[in-house]
Structure 1
């Protein structure tokens, strides 16, 4: 009882603090992100704003002055309010400076995924509408390698060492003043104007450019600042990509809104993670679930929990590793959240209930805009009743999470994508009454009787087998706790002449499992229909830049042992055990002579 009361108090304090931040942002429609940084540069000029992995630092005064140079450079290059400038740069302090400078003059910074090449890179640059691109010298080859696919001339400005055939931005910036910008530079800029384009990860097709307005930029930063109770004394360690909302907006914004400090790491290193936290005296860090799994898979070593981290915030921390991770590395508090870069659903698990991605108790339901509706996995559409309207899920029932679109609400705005058609695809109409509009999350969640939300799966990842819905995340969770399994990526594969999809798992293992024990483990943890039929052993699981498992390619590759070099094992129902899949067995399965 006391534990429940404590959790309720934590929820109320955190929710009130968060809603207070959002209301304050609404009350100041002319205040932009640039105004916040300029205010801190005036009131806390000597506070440390950013630290690089090489030890370089920028105070708020220095950050603001250097961003002024970028703003003047952008204006001199012909950019005006609403114009996009692409930013293709690895994680470093200059990254934050650059996009701050662009938004300072009213422009839009298009944050490009640094892993992209060729058509993918060209696509993102093309849809940004940018005529200029800031390009890190280390990524110049990627840019020029995709140039023949651009639909217009995009002028590259190289940051770092000069590159033949491109302007050198590092030299050009010195030509512009660091003094405050003229008062009328942003005279027409409103919170409803775009500040950033942040691209979806492209796990299912080419990325889409989500529009991040100045309002959304402030609310995302403010919500994370409130959830973590950040102060100017906090230091946030950022290893996630700055081109994505988790690392580049939520983590950065959590501390830069209150005069705190950001520690920028070029790339995540499990070996150096805790050493960096200790060295830079980090008090906060932002995670993606798989990042935590990588850290947990490392060998224990002295000093790994001698740090000043008081809180970790992030999403995707699976229940099976939550407590082992928190206990091993001695992290006092974990705040798990649920949301999407472009979406209007934001959930926070303020009290640390293991496995939950957020909570909305019954008494707070009217304040938030999220509902879960019954969902048809086969049709990949919400189920509608006889009246044509959607049906709300009962507690514990899995369905699609929707967010009500209400431009006047602090939590209901949906700005969509740069592509209007892509925006329309995410809107569901006539949900609970004729004429209403809701944002489709594309995710399956459930909510318990106390209001806690639990992430179940991505729509499209859940599949049907033997007439039952199989949630890949639940299966992966059950498999991952088997000894020696470092990663498990679960998906469904088609078999000729059979309805639904058979379960398959790609695993990274310390050594090949004892298949008899592995099957016994599956029997203990999963119903028969949810157990994988095929197991693929890989050296590593391919992930996106934001640590999400790639599944599309694996689904396409299927389970043909002659087309795949990795060993594949098959649960033979005749032998009642896993055996190595051969071409003859594959043919028997596909022709139906071996019945599953």
Structure 2
């Protein structure tokens, strides 16, 4: 009887003692129990036959919660069923056009819009991988990103990005491009096709599962690109196993079907794709897509900038002999703001308007240098590497720098001479960069 009483007393006292000395014990226990359940679910899915992929989880949700809101974009809402049908139309349109086969890779050059999700699902249903191109890249970066796509022949672009594709169309063809689809009925060129029109004319019937019969857990699912801080963008291959594991990202943080995920990052980003898309598929939560603002504060922050690429683009101008691109701190701005030290070609002057038009046409807004410093010579190390430290330290203060300084003035569409008045306005936050 004594032993029984002792055990009962222990059962009563233990929780109280744990709560007193380890106040988060029970919270941690519940959380880790949940994590264990998520892990066991992943292991169970990995053992299912036929293979259970991230796409199959989406199709499960279509069956169990067809009318549950899945995407919110501006004034439109798409349920799981709506999304399934839209992706079927795109998949069937691509099949009719005979432009992709199971195992192929297609490139998505899309903004944050429902078409991004529709196209990814459509290609997954066809047994194809997707290369998620950064929608801000232009010129050589766009060509280089496409060339990483392992034999991709198809590129799907947003209506707003037609111009960027047209600029390098011939270069993309040399990399194997055969077909460009635009997510719009309005086309600017006869060299591209309307995916919107093709989808509208196609069936929303389910795509045969046999098309993805040869997909394995090691098969490439998506290509997500590095920001290219030391050069041009490079593709990281995400296979089907990692995509399946990515389903649990939001579930492990307590997100449920009653939540709405506000997706402010572009979907081509790893965090956005895994948390904003895959995570909401698993948890049945809705996602509200935000059109991604190209803020300058992304310099070395949310969006890394390839300084070597910016330099190369500046060097395309005949008036510039050498360029050293770096970032400087500006009070009130996250990350750094772009600046370039330039050595001009002998006998030539800095052309503010021409330089502005050049960087505007070839660089996304966040990558354009806001400040220009003209030097007689650019400092280099003994191994001919450009010296940036002192330039970064001196910044763009006309009181400290004897060289000519220029500021990118969006309102005047040119680089204007830096004055103490402009400098003061920037420092005080009165002038928006």
TM tier, smaller: 0.5 to 0.7
Q: 1:109 aligns with which of 125, 130, 135?
A: 130
> Does residue 25 of the first structure (1) align with residue 45 of the second (2)?
yes
Q: 2:89 aligns with which of 48, 69, 88?
A: 69
Question: After the TM superposition, which of the residue ranges 260-269 and 86-95 deviates more from structure 2?
Answer: 260-269
The equivalent residue for 2:170 is 148
Change (3 A) 1:20 1:568: farther
Which 5+ residue runs of structure 2 have no aligned equivalent?
1-20, 303-327, 338-364, 368-384, 404-433
Within a 5 Å distance, the mapping from 1:238-387 to structure 2 comes to 238-268=263-293
The equivalent residue for 1:558 is 388
The equivalent residue for 2:319 is none
Change (3 A) 1:147 1:4: same
The equivalent residue for 2:187 is 162
1:145 Cα deviation after fit: 0.7
Question: 1 CA distance for matches of 2:294 and 2:142?
Answer: 25
Which 5+ residue runs of structure 1 have no aligned equivalent?
271-288, 292-475, 491-541, 545-554, 570-578, 584-596
- Asked if structure 2 preserves the Cα contact closer than 8 Å seen for 1:66 and 1:178, the reply is yes
- Asked if structure 1 preserves the Cα contact closer than 8 Å seen for 2:103 and 2:215, the reply is no
Superposed CA offset, 1:290-324 (max 9, x none): 67xxxxxxxxxxxxxxxxxxxxxxxxxxxxxxxxx
Q: Which has the larger radius of gyration?
A: 2
Question: 2 CA distance for matches of 1:557 and 1:102?
Answer: 46
Q: 1:124 aligns with which of 113, 121, 145?
A: 145
Which structure dedicates a bigger proportion of its chain to strand?
A: 1
Superposed CA offset, 1:332-366 (max 9, x none): xxxxxxxxxxxxxxxxxxxxxxxxxxxxxxxxxxx
Change (3 A) 1:178 1:146: same
- Asked if structure 1 preserves the Cα contact closer than 8 Å seen for 2:301 and 2:335, the reply is no
SS of residue in 2 equivalent to 1:119: helix
Change (3 A) 1:242 1:183: closer
Q: 1:185 aligns with which of 208, 211, 222?
A: 211
Superposed CA offset, 1:400-439 (max 9, x none): xxxxxxxxxxxxxxxxxxxxxxxxxxxxxxxxxxxxxxxx
SS of residue in 2 equivalent to 1:156: strand
Question: RMSD of the TM alignment (CA)?
Answer: 3.8
The equivalent residue for 1:201 is 227
Q: 2:334 aligns with which of 472, 479, 487?
A: 487
> Does residue 43 of the first structure (1) align with residue 69 of the second (2)?
no
Change (3 A) 1:485 1:158: closer
Change (3 A) 1:210 1:28: farther
> Does residue 91 of the first structure (1) align with residue 112 of the second (2)?
yes
1:485 Cα deviation after fit: 4.9
Question: 1 CA distance for matches of 2:138 and 2:83?
Answer: 31
Question: 2 CA distance for matches of 1:582 and 1:119?
Answer: 34
Higher RCO (CA < 8 A, seq sep 6+):
2
Question: 2 CA distance for matches of 1:74 and 1:84?
Answer: 13
The equivalent residue for 1:580 is 400
- Normalised to the residue count of structure 1, the TM-score between the two structures is 0.47
Which structure dedicates a bigger proportion of its chain to helix?
A: 2
Superposed CA offset, 1:429-458 (max 9, x none): xxxxxxxxxxxxxxxxxxxxxxxxxxxxxx
